[in-house]
Structure 1
Amino acid sequence: MAGQVRIGVYPGTFDPITLGHMDIIRRGAKLVDKLVIGVTTNPSKSPLFTVEERLAMVQRECEGLDADIEVVAFGSLLMHFAEQQGAGIILRGLRAVADFEYEYQMAGMNQYLNDRIETVFLMADVSLQPIASRLVKEIAMFDGDIAKFVTPTVRVDVLERIAEQRQAAG
């Protein structure tokens, strides 16, 4: 239909948002008229930041981008969230072969749930492929330098949170 807005959803935990995520957001936003970044919590992960903190962080990091981007929290099935947003595309980033196997299975299940929503995979930029939020947190917890993996403001957020946790632990 002419004039129909193409909406894409990019879901993730973004705990914290990395340069790899930002690469996918910048490139993915070019494929749709509006990109909804869905911030969720994965029950199998223990987040460093609350959902509200991650929403604010993602919003802040996306402010300078020249695109129609909305950052929304969700706690439902991805397909239900995508339907609620009016999305026709789910955007997923791939880093490695291991990601592909998991993402391929998820895309297949999502297609069974709603075959009108397509899953589109974007390969992360080669220089950013090793970056994973889990590893960024682990490196920071052991006092490694995470400056190559996150923006300066996210680096400060992560280091402050880890310092708070250490102080609370005594």
Structure 2
Amino acid sequence: MSRAVFPGTFDPLTAGHLDVVERARHLFDDLVVLVAVNAAKNPAREGEARAAAVRAALPAGWGNVSVSAWRGLTADFCHRHNVDVIVRGVRNPGDVRHEQELAAMNQSLGIPTLLIPTRPALATVSSTAARAFPA
């Protein structure tokens, strides 16, 4: 059984995040959307509230997708929960550079990373913009 995590702050969850989840869930038997609990990022809501919002946004038919809030390194979650791969979405060359650095660190901890490029129509979608200009 292949297991992956898609970690992020999800503050808020965007159409781009859902697109990555939708595509990654077809690549793995089990996908965990891992909501980062990190006060240093100054999230608008607590981790469990963000996790509940992600759960509510997932279509009912996505049975192989679960959501967990987690405080700590993603690689630690992976080791504790027998997760094989970290999935990350990338929108632009800046994202790729940043994610490659994180991927190298996680690989050194024994967990490979799969980067999934965003669909062009969603490349400008970001949580930061969604917070600044709520619908």
Of the structure 1 ranges 39-48 and 101-110, higher mean CA displacement relative to structure 2 is found in 39-48
2:127 pairs with 125, 130, 133, which one? 133
Once the two structures are superposed, residues 65-107 of structure 1 have per-residue CA deviations (whole angstroms, 9 ceiling, x without a partner) of 4341110111111110111121111100001111011100110
Task: Identify the structure with the greater strand proportion.
Answer: 2
d(CA) in 2 for partners of 1:9 and 1:34?
8
| Letter of the structure 1 residue corresponding to residue 86 of structure 2 | I
| Letter of the structure 2 residue corresponding to residue 138 of structure 1 | A
Note if contact 2:20-2:118 (Cα within 8 Å) is conserved in structure 1: yes
Once the two structures are superposed, residues 81-135 of structure 1 have per-residue CA deviations (whole angstroms, 9 ceiling, x without a partner) of 1111211111000011110111001101111111xx2210101111011111011
Partner of residue 85, structure 2: 89
How many corresponding residue pairs? 135
Look at both structures and tell me which one has the larger radius of gyration over its CA atoms: 1
The equivalences for 1:43-82 within 5 A come to 43-82=39-78
The alpha carbon displacement at 1:43 in A equals: 4.3
| Letter of the structure 2 residue corresponding to residue 137 of structure 1 | R
Note if contact 1:29-1:68 (Cα within 8 Å) is conserved in structure 2: yes
The equivalences for 1:108-123 within 5 A come to 108-114=104-110, 117-123=111-117
TM-score normalised by structure 1 residue count? 0.75
Task: Identify the structure with the greater helix proportion.
Answer: 1
Structure 1 residues not aligned, in runs of 5+: 141-145, 147-170
d(CA) in 1 for partners of 2:98 and 2:132?
22
Partner-residue secondary structure (3-state), 2:11: coil
Residue 12, structure 1, aligned to residue 12, structure 2 = no
RMSD: 1.2
Q: Which has the higher contact order (CA 8 A, sep 6+)?
A: 2
TM-score normalised by structure 2 residue count? 0.94
Identity of aligned residues (%): 32
2:26 pairs with 10, 22, 30, which one? 30
Structure 2 residues not aligned, in runs of 5+: none
d(CA) in 2 for partners of 1:132 and 1:110?
23
Relative distance call for 1:98 and 1:65 in structure 2 (3 A) is farther
Partner-residue secondary structure (3-state), 1:83: helix
